[in-house]
Structure formats: C-alpha cells, structure tokens
C-alpha cells in the first residue's frame, strides 16, 4: 500500500497531497546505495581497494581481491558511529546527534597453495563473512513558527467527502476519531484552519518535526578466487543482503503565546514503519598485474534482487483546552514489494611501491534510472508503484563515485588515508557527498590490529509537507562520523 511519508528530497507542487514524492522512490534510492564499510584498513583508505585486494571488505568492491591472499585469515571489526544534523527551518537553527555501536565485519578466508601442482595457479582461496554496507541510524529535529499548517491539507482532503466513514483510515479519519476534526453542515473543519481563514495575514503556529531512523544493510559474501602466475587474479562472490530499516516521524503543532487557538492547544501526527528484506546478488572481477608495481582491476556487480516487507501504521493525538488528549491509531498495514538495483561497474588502478606504499584509485558507475520496483497488488486508485518507476526513470541518472586511498608502511606500523567523492543520482545533481578517512595499523608476525576514522558530509533540502502557502523548506547539513577497530590473525 502507498503511504505518505516525508521525502528526503521532494519537488514542491501545489495540490492537497501531504508530500509530492512517494516514499518508495526514496526507499529505492536508499536501498540501492552502497556506503561501503567493513574492516578498519578498508575504511581508512575510503574503500579504495578495487585493484589491491587482500582485505575481506575489498570483496564488496572487487571479488578478485580474494585471490591476492597468500595465507588464511580471520578478522572481526566493531564500529562506533555519530550522525550530526544541523537544520535551518523557519529561520531557526537546530543540531541533533545520533550515536550507535555496530558490528562492521566478521570474516574468515581460507588459502590453499597450488605451487606444487602442474598448473600455473599459485593458490586458490575462499572466504565467508559479512560487511556492513549501509548505516541508517539518524535523527533530525526542526522547529519554528510558521504561517501555514499541516492541518490545512487534512481539512482539504476531508472535504472531498461528506461522511466521516469515507475518510482515509490512515490519515483524515484518525483526526476525526481523535476529535481534532469536526463537521457542520456536511463540511469538515478545525479551529486551526478557522484561524487561518479569519486572519491569514497574522496567523502563526509553532511546528516541530522529528524524524528518527534505525537500521542497516549487511552484505554476506561467499567468495571464491585464485591467483594465476602472480599476474592474473580472478574472483566471484554470491552475496546475500539483509536489510532492516525502521522510521518514526512526528509532526507536532501548537498554539503560540501571541495567538492562542480556541478549544484546542495543538496536535501531533505520528508515522511508524518497519521494513525488512533479503536480497541476492552476484559479483565478478579480475585484477591484472602486468608489471610488479602496477595493478589494474575491473568488477561488475549484477543487480540485487530484493524481496521487501513493510509494516506501517499512523497515529493522531489532539491536545485540548478543557479535555484529555484525544488519540486514534490506525491498523497496521503490511505491504510487500520487490526492488531491483542497477548494475554497478568498477574500474581501478593500483600502485605498489615495493613494501613501502600502496595507492589505489577506484571509479564506480551505476545508472540509477534503471532501478525497478514491482508489487503483486494495487491498494490505491491509480497506477501505484508504476508511477514511482516512471519518476525514477525521468528524474534519476548516473551515480558516479571516485575513491582514492593510500597506505604507507614503516616497519610494523601502517599509516593510511583516503577520500571519496560521490555524485547525486538526481538529474539536477544536488546532494553530492564528500568523505575523508584516515587510520593506523600495527602488524606483528601473524597478528594485526587497525583503527580507522571516516567523516562524510552532504547537504540537502527537505520539505516538511506540500502546501503552496507558508514555508515548508528545511536546509540540512549532515556530517557522519564512523570509528572502526579491527583485530585479525593469519594462520
């Protein structure tokens, strides 16, 4: 079923819908984007490992990296993340933080020497493990005094009907059932919209919007590859992706001291959703070492086929001058749909300066206009999810990502750094992301320990609701920080 949620990037249209863009467009973008994480070594170099390999997290970029291993290995990585959102809304600034601990990576690699065989294969390797590719933990809060109200949309939509039983059970009926909406002479009304009608020039109301999200995508990889004559490294991986995403949104409005509202103090509209899913994909890749210091990598990620289950419900709460709060909750609606992500193509070049330094550059290309959505049922009038596909085809384009990473070695100590520039998949190219990373490593005999820090930054616009009057635009600056610790042993 189509529900109406806030879109991270919306197109403002003049109509009586809550928001201009379906949430499933945003979900398709969110679940098709890979924000690679994993081991601290991989993260410290911004994931620039497409031509290097030798780290299990590099399998998420180029599975041929499994062929670089010459020993078996076990690794475990934990992370601590912090998301900071600075919001400007209605000339009011807010800053919010969200903290989270994660298991970023767990893997084991087995390496089998082939040097005594009659072939030119040096070794064959396999690996099993997972890398966290997305972190959805975030919190945004915005508030201020506005000259329009979300209630205007609910009243306008309600007045398409004359009988309360005809109202949408996920939206307008909740406001009727919680005594926020009333009717007289077959017309629905509310004290807030009455105030706007009576004196629109002087109307004001306090608004607060909170959006909290939690979740992740984990990439479980079963990988196999080999080293042919120390010149060609081949690899393939079957990936099983586990998706979990929970979202809570609250839109609260209340009277101000300078403009009290008769009968009611305010209202709170709350949206809850929980999304889970499983996806399957295939990755193949190759690394060529034509000379000792140069490595060239190429990889193809075939589309991930997701089956996704969502459950969502809404609530409305009214706050009144002389009565207890009125509350109404919708039934929980299940919705199943399928998502097919686009192909990904990755080209890499790496340089090895003896045993002193490694440098790698990755270029990643994916055409997000090829994202596909499908469901088995139509719950609402109209074309449903096919409209979302058309929006994606018309408004999304190629998403490009450039990663640069380097590692310097001084005895048992390793110093690492990197950066990433990622373009927006939208045609108008807003929402580019820049990140920087760094880290240290210590390796002695068969044991190693690494730490890493990465910081990503991007800006975007957010419309709290879709209405031609007042100001619904929030400008958000997001900074995401992630600290990772990895321990491992070779055997």
Q: Model confidence over 288-331: pLDDT tens digits? A: 999 999 999 999 999 999 999 999 999 999 999 999 999 999 99
Question: 385-395 and 23-32 helices cross at what angle (nearest 10)?
Answer: 60
Cα-Cα-Cα-Cα dihedral of 36, 122, 112, 50, to 10°?
0
Q: Left, alpha or beta for 62 (phi > 0: left; psi -120 to 50: alpha)?
A: beta
What are the tokens at 282? Answer: 């295939």
* Ramachandran angles phi, psi of 300, nearest 5°: -125, 130
Which of the following CATH numbers is that of domain 23-490: 2.40.160.60, 3.40.50.300, 3.30.70.360, 1.10.3720.10?
A: 2.40.160.60
Contact criterion met (CB below 8 Å) for 295 and 52: yes
The structural domains of the chain, with segments of one domain joined by +, span: 23-490
Question: What is the per-residue pLDDT for 377?
Answer: 59
Give me the residues of the chain with pLDDT under 70, please.
1-21, 377-384, 429, 470
- d(CA 316, CA 261) in angstroms, rounded, equals 18
Sign of CA dihedral 70, 74, 80, 84: positive
Distance of CA 278 to the CA centre of its chain: 16
Question: 191-198 and 151-158 helices cross at what angle (nearest 10)?
Answer: 100
- d(CA 198, CA 396) in angstroms, rounded, equals 43
Closest-CA residue to 236 (of 56, 59, 49): 59
Summarised one tens digit per residue, pLDDT across range 90-123 is 999 999 999 999 999 999 999 999 988 889 999 9
Q: What is the pTM of this model?
A: 0.89
Query: Distance between the two ends of the chain, CA-based, in angstroms?
Result: 52
CA angle 61, 67, 69 (to 5 degrees): 100
């Amino acid at each position: 079923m189509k529900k109406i949620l806030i879109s991270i990037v919306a197109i403002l249209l003049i109509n009586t819908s809550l928001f201009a863009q379906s949430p499933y467009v945003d979900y398709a973008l969110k679940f098709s984007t890979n924000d690679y994480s994993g081991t601290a070594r991989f993260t410290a170099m911004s994931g620039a490992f497409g031509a290097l390999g030798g780290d299990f997290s590099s399998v998420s970029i180029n599975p041929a990296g499994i062929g670089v291993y010459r020993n078996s290995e076990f690794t475990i990585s934990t992370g601590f993340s912090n998301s900071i959102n600075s919001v400007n809304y209605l000339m009011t600034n807010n800053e919010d933080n969200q903290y989270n601990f994660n298991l970023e990576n767990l893997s084991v690699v087995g390496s089998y020497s082939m040097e005594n065989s009659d072939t030119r294969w040096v070794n064959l390797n396999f690996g099993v493990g997972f890398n966290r590719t997305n972190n959805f933990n975030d919190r945004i809060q915005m508030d201020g005094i506005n000259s329009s109200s979300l209630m205007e949309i609910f009243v306008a939509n309600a007045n398409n009907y004359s009988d309360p039983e005809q109202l949408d059970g996920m939206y307008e009926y909740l406001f009727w059932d919680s005594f926020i909406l009333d009717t007289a002479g077959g017309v629905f009304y509310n004290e807030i919209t009455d105030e706007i009608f009576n004196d629109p020039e002087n109307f004001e109301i306090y608004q607060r919007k909170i959006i909290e999200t939690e979740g992740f995508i984990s990439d479980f990889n079963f990988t196999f590859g080999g080293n042919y004559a120390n010149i060609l490294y081949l690899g393939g991986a079957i990936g099983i992706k586990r998706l979990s995403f929970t979202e809570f949104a609250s839109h609260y409005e209340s009277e101000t001291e300078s403009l009290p509202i008769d009968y009611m103090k305010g209202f709170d509209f709350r949206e809850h959703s929980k999304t889970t899913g499983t996806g399957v994909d295939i990755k193949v890749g190759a690394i060529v070492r034509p000379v000792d210091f140069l490595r060239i990598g190429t990889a193809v990620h075939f589309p991930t086929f997701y089956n996704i289950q969502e459950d969502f419900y809404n609530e409305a709460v009214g706050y009144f001058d002389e009565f207890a709060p009125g509350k109404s909750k919708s039934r929980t609606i299940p919705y199943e749909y399928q998502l097919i992500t686009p192909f990904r193509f990755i080209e890499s070049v790496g340089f090895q300066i003896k045993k002193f330094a490694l440098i790698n550059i990755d270029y990643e290309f994916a055409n997000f206009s090829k994202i596909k959505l499908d469901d088995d049922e139509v719950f609402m009038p109209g074309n449903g999810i096919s409209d979302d596909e058309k929006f994606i085809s018309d408004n999304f384009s190629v998403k490009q990502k450039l990663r640069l990473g380097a590692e310097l070695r001084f005895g048992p100590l390793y110093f690492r750094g990197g950066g990433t520039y990622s373009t927006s998949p939208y045609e108008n190219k807003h929402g580019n992301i820049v990140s920087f990373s760094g880290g240290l490593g210590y390796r002695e005999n068969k044991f190693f320990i690494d730490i890493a820090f990465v910081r990503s930054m991007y800006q975007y616009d957010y419309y709290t609701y879709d209405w031609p009057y007042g100001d619904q635009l929030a400008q958000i600056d997001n900074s995401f920080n992630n600290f990772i610790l990895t321990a491992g042993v070779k055997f």
